[in-house]
């Protein structure tokens, strides 16, 4: 176990899993500049650490994150936010993480909190989770992907319903809609997220990175380009030691010994 000190996060490792816990409990983990800077730094540290194969991002029992910090935002003006690239400056770090990131969500994931969860690769929700994009209620709109990633995840009808009304959806509705991959009892959330992360971390590292990269192409590229990218990455896997080992171990009916290369 190793600890790094941040003011708005707690980080630790559990074997090959890097765990980042958002930690502004009094503000329900509202996301401010410091937190987003620290989150970027923590993600980059785990991403660069060869001992880590998967990252889990979580909050508290009450809130994954209740959105961007409204107190910090309230007095901003258009010239301020436009000139300083507010949001893009330090909200894009998650997009650049190459290892899988699992969001383990309990309680509120609202506004920027829902958007951060959607930037992760897998969302595992506690049965207490509530998702929503309530920005219209305070006179803005989602600013970190809510109008783009939410319809890709749940379709236009549900996304419009959520973004235009600002209502919350519970974990069961989020699972039906395809936003979350599974729902578990709240007291099992971290066990489930860590078990999933450990399973991913035990797999051939290059295949995992390539699979994530190829899957993300599905949201960025036309089908023909995405298929071509997938095929090239599939071909590239034959240059890895873990492909030789994985297939040999299967044929020899033994457990594989992956090297991550």
Residue 71 binding ligand CO8, by CB under 6 A: yes
> Which position among 138, 172, 199, 221 is part of the footprint of ligand CO8 (CB under 6 A)?
138
> How many CB atoms within 10 Å of residue 234?
13
Nearest residue (CB) to ligand CO8, 40 versus 142: 142
Phi, psi of 128 (to 5 degrees): -90, -5
Closest approach of Cβ 137 to ligand CO8, in Å? 6
Contact 101, 133 (CB under 8 A): no
What distance in Å separates the CA atoms of residue 110 and residue 68, rounded to the nearest whole number? 9
In the chain, the DSSP E strands lie at 4-5, 9-14, 17-22, 54-58, 63-65, 101-105, 108-110, 122-126, 130-132, 168-170, 182-184
Burial classification of residue 72, based on how many CB atoms lie within 10 Å of its CB (0-12 exposed, 13-18 middle, 19 or more buried):
middle
Please identify, using beta-carbon distances, which residue of 69 and 192 lies nearer to ligand CO8. Answer: 69
- Binding positions for ligand CO8, 105-124, rule CB under 6 A: 108, 110-112
Under rule CB under 6 A, residue 66 binds ligand CO8? yes
Site for ligand CO8 in 27-56 (CB under 6 A): 27-28, 30
Nearer to ligand CO8, 85 or 225 (CB): 85
Contact characters 160-199, ligand CO8, x per CB under 6 A: ----------------------------------------
How far is C-alpha 80 from the chain's CA centre? 28
Q: Which two tokens stand for residue 244?
A: 């030789």
Cα distance between residue 139 and residue 243, in whole Å: 52
In whole angstroms, give the CA distance from residue 5 to residue 58: 17
The CA distance from 105 to 230, in Å, is: 30
Residues 6+ apart with CB under 8 A from 78: none
Binding status of residue 17 toward ligand CO8 by CB under 6 A:
no
**Which one of the spans 67-75, 119-127, 172-180, 242-250 is the region binding ligand CO8 (CB under 6 A)?**
67-75
Q: Which range of residues in 2-10, 93-101, 133-141, 187-195 is near ligand CO8 by CB under 6 A?
A: 133-141
> Of the listed pieces 60-68, 94-102, 116-124, 181-189, which binds ligand CO8 according to CB under 6 A?
60-68
Q: Mind telling me the catalytic residues?
A: 68, 112, 115, 135
Binding residues for ligand CO8, rule: CB under 6 A, are 27-28, 30, 66-71, 73, 87, 108, 110-112, 134-135, 138, 142-144
């Amino acid at each position: 176990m190793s600890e790094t000190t941040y003011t708005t996060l707690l980080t630790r490792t559990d074997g090959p899993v890097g765990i980042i816990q958002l930690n502004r409990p009094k503000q329900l983990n509202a996301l401010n500049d410091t937190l987003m800077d620290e989150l970027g730094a923590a993600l980059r540290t785990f991403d660069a650490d060869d001992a880590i194969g998967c990252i889990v991002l979580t909050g508290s029992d009450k809130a994954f994150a209740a959105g961007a910090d409204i107190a910090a935002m309230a007095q901003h003006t258009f010239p301020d936010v436009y000139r300083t690239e507010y949001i893009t400056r330090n909200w894009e770090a998650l997009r650049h993480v190459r290892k899988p990131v699992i969001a383990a969500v309990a309680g509120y994931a609202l506004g920027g909190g829902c958007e951060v969860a959607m930037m992760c690769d897998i969302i595992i929700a506690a049965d207490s989770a509530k998702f929503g994009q309530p920005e219209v209620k305070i006179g803005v709109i989602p600013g970190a992907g809510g109008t783009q990633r939410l319809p890709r995840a749940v379709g236009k009808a549900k996304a419009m319903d959520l973004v235009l009304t600002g209502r919350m959806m519970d974990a069961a509705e989020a699972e039906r809609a395809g936003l979350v991959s599974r729902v578990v009892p709240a007291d099992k959330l971290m066990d489930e997220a860590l078990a999933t992360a450990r399973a991913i971390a035990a797999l051939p590292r290059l295949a995992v990175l390539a699979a994530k990269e190829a899957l993300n192409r599905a949201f960025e590229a036309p089908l023909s380009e995405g298929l071509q990218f997938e095929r090239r990455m599939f071909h590239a896997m034959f240059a890895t030691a873990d492909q030789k080992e994985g297939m040999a171990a299967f044929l020899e009916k033994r457990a594989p010994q992956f090297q991550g290369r």
